[in-house]
Amino acid sequence: AQAAGVSAARPIPIGSAAQIETFRADPRYREALKRYCDVIVPMNDLKWEALRHDRARFDFSGADEIVAFAERNGQALRGHALLWGEALPPWARDMTSRAEAERELVEHISTVVDRYKGRIATWDVVNEVIRFEPLPGEPMRDTIWQRLLGPAHVEIAFRAAAAADPKARLVLNDFNFEEPGAGTAARRRIALDLCRRLKDKGIPVHGIGMQAHLYADRPLDIDGLENFMVELGKLDLDVEITELDVIDWKLPADAATRDRAAASLVGTFLNAIASVRRPKAIVTWGLSDRYSWIHETFPRQDKARARPLPLDADFRPKPMMAVLDRYR
Ligand code: XIL
């Protein structure tokens, strides 16, 4: 039985990030994206590194390819990410003045959001702006944007995105909102504070994106997550799961055991969130274990292939997919 007024059956768009080289090379990958995704996110092609390799021009080739694919298939799109401290071309990392950084940031966001106006419905406006272990009085991550613009970079980015597409849904995206501990609790508070401050200034912000790169060997802070959802609700903010995958580097080698553990972790995580606030989207950071950033970033000691995603390396659905399907 559902609580009155909660339309728990409302389907959630489920989808994946799409990596361009794989997308071009592997027809089975394209087929899986088509078959399993209601929503697609260009994994790297809307990052500065891809778009702004040359300072003088924008290169939309990769993003355009994935956007066109999603449009052909009637899939929604998320844009990732308009401001990030990483994946910057060298010239952007070498900026030296406040005026230059603000001019480049506003020009970048205006150009990119305007190009996909009415087509990319949701944007990760800022990505990973919160300090990993926040110190008292130092909530923001040390990036070129923070160094040159201070905490105002968040506000500048959201203003520029809203001006370029007033109908776009604008999201603050970040990682680790789900582990127990004071550092993570501080990160949740900072995310809420950043959004509250934008709202107080009349700058639109519609949601918080939880990357949700979940560690299979670490516990979830269920109370913390539930409370986070309550606080989001008070601010009238949505939640989106934006980069879901399971880091299984410390789990035993047996594949079936790992797949069960991953599915159960994802189930517990999504249930804690959706029982309080139903996500507007659930996006995994890739689809098949054949291709994932986890292989390079979190390699296993035994050299076995990581199993972070809902399809196995041969594109067969794993237990994690059944968990996601409950929300469609
Ligand atoms: C990763 C991609 O998956 C890789 O292909 C790329 O080489 C580096 O970036 N948090 C984010 C994502 O917000 O953009 C990152 O994506 C993974 C961590």
Instruction: Assess if residue 2 is contained within a domain.
Output: no
- The CATH number for 95's domain is 3.20.20.80
Could you tell me if residue 26 is inside a domain?
A: yes
86 is catalytic: no
Centre of ligand 1 from the C-alpha of residue 158, in Å? 21
- Flag whether 9 is in a domain: no
Whether residue 282 lies inside any domain: the answer is yes
The three-state secondary structure class of 254 is coil
Shortest-distance Cα residue to atom 1 of ligand 1:
293
| Number of compact structural domains in the chain | 1
> Which pLDDT does position 3 carry in this prediction?
44
Q: Give yes or no: 104 in active site.
A: no
Q: What angle do CA 193, 275, 178 make, to 5 degrees?
A: 50
Pairing of strands 130-135, 138-140: antiparallel
Quote the domain boundaries for residue 170.
14-325
The reply to whether 139 falls in a domain is yes
SS3 state at 327 = coil
Q: Find the 200 Cα to ligand 1 centroid distance in Å.
A: 31
Contacts of 263 (CB under 8 A, 6+ apart): 318, 319, 320, 322, 323
Length of the chain: 328
Q: What integer pLDDT is reported at residue 20 of this predicted model? A: 98
Mutate to test the pocket of ligand 1, among 23, 243, 287 (most ligand atoms within 8 A of CB): 243
Residue 175 CA, closest ligand 1 atom number: 10
Is the pTM for the entire model greater than 0.95? yes
Q: Is residue 131 part of a domain?
A: yes
Mutate to test the pocket of ligand 1, among 126, 293, 296 (most ligand atoms within 8 A of CB): 293
CA 267 to chain CA centroid, nearest Å:
18
Please report whether residue 258 resides in a domain.
Answer: yes
Q: Say if CB 125 and CB 170 are below 8 A apart.
A: yes
Residues at CB less than 6 angstroms from ligand 1: 19, 43-44, 127, 211, 243, 285, 293
pLDDT at 2: 42
| In-domain check, residue 8 | no
Considering the candidates 102, 128, 178, 240, report the single residue annotated as catalytic. 128
Q: How far is the CA of 44 from the centre of ligand 1 (A)?
A: 7
pLDDT per residue as tens, the chain (328 positions): 344 444 456 899 999 999 999 999 999 999 999 999 999 999 999 999 999 999 999 999 999 999 999 999 999 999 999 999 999 999 999 999 999 999 999 999 999 999 999 999 999 999 999 999 998 899 999 999 999 999 999 999 999 999 999 999 999 999 999 999 999 999 999 999 999 999 999 999 999 999 999 999 999 999 999 999 999 999 999 999 999 999 999 999 999 999 999 999 999 999 999 999 999 999 999 999 999 999 999 999 999 999 999 999 999 999 999 999 999 9
pLDDT of residue 116: 98
For 311, phi and psi rounded to 5 degrees? -115, 145
Q: Which of 178, 231, 240, 243 is catalytic?
A: 243
Of all protein residues, the one whose alpha carbon is nearest to atom 7 of ligand 1 is: 293
